[in-house]
Amino acid sequence: MQTFDWTAATPAKASMPASRVLQAYLQEMRSECLRYLRSPGFMLPTLLFPLVFYTMFGIVLGGRHGNPDAPRYLLAAYATFGVMAPGLFGFGIALALERDNGLLMLKRALPMPPAAYLLGKMIMAMLVAGLIVGLLVVLAVFAADVRLQPLQIAHLLATGMLGTLPFCAMGLLLGCLVSGQGAPAMANLLYLPMAFLSGLWFPLSVLPRFLQQLAPLWPSYHLNKLSQAAVGFESAALWPHVLALLGFTVVFLLLAARRLRRHG
């Protein structure tokens, strides 16, 4: 039987023009954003959960107890709670489903930069996070009479959009490890306890002491500190929280990349 030398027959890779590379990135970002905007099962819970919780606890209960700072404090807390979801669910569940149905393999076979797929999801998560923070700010200003300076609003918006990146990395790792059927349960198993243990729903002081000491293990704790600083509450040094979030992002990305290289 005649053999065929694949090595000798493989042509040299042609370099793609920079304009086509940029177009591939832009098209992938556009398709990811449109796909999620047209998915009510993702968009509605992601947008409504933080808005409903803030209405209940920040406006109704916060105003009833007569603490003028409560709506502003809870604005930052529920902004953190809200921006966790696009990363965990947009990356985690979607990637797990796309691995199961073969879409990820198809994406790899397409003539586009490998990073375009992940960057498209990341941009989608950042835009959804910005929308969540913007809606919460509108609700706080007009319904809870929270007074914020334009610079504070911009600071909170930037914190939310950039702060979703560690959760994108966490969701990426989750999507590499679990199947499409198990991904929703695992994402919620991370999302809700992490919010609870980070002091997003109520102050950490009401939790047992050992749980208070474990709070810095969660990225949501550090993001909440940055969000509180954006609205004027945190006055301590912020760089440890920034470094912690960068560390979480890098570690989750490295673990996910290793898993994808080995198992796809």
The model's pLDDT over 139-182, given as tens digits with 9 standing for 90+, comes to: 999 998 899 999 999 999 999 999 999 999 999 999 888 887 88
- Per-residue pLDDT at 255: 92
State residue 52's pLDDT score. 93
Burial environment of residue 5 by CB neighbours within 10 A (0 to 12, 13 to 18, 19 or more): exposed
The backbone torsions φ and ψ at residue 111, rounded to the nearest 5 degrees and listed phi first, read -80, 70
**Residue 161, token pair as written in the block:** 């959009």
Q: Position 133: which residue type?
A: V
pLDDT of residue 31: 79
Per-residue pLDDT of the chain (264 residues; tens, 9 = 90+): 444 343 444 444 456 677 777 777 787 788 777 877 777 777 888 899 999 999 988 888 765 556 778 899 999 999 999 999 998 988 888 888 877 777 667 766 666 777 777 888 889 899 999 999 999 999 999 998 899 999 999 999 999 999 999 999 999 999 888 887 888 889 999 999 999 999 898 788 888 888 889 999 999 999 999 999 999 887 778 999 999 999 999 999 999 888 877 755
First to last CA, the chain: 34
Q: Provide CB contacts within 8 A for 93, sequence distance 6+.
A: 171, 175, 180, 183, 184, 187
Please tell me the distance from the alpha carbon of residue 226 to that of residue 237, in angstroms, as a whole number.
10
Q: pLDDT value at position 240?
A: 94
The C-alpha angle with vertex 122 and arms to 254 and 78, in degrees rounded to 5, equals 105
| Residues whose CB falls within 8 Å of the CB of residue 2, separated by 6 or more in sequence, listed in order | none
Contact between 259 and 173 under an 8 Å Cβ cutoff? The reply is yes
In which residue are the tokens 């930052």 written?
76
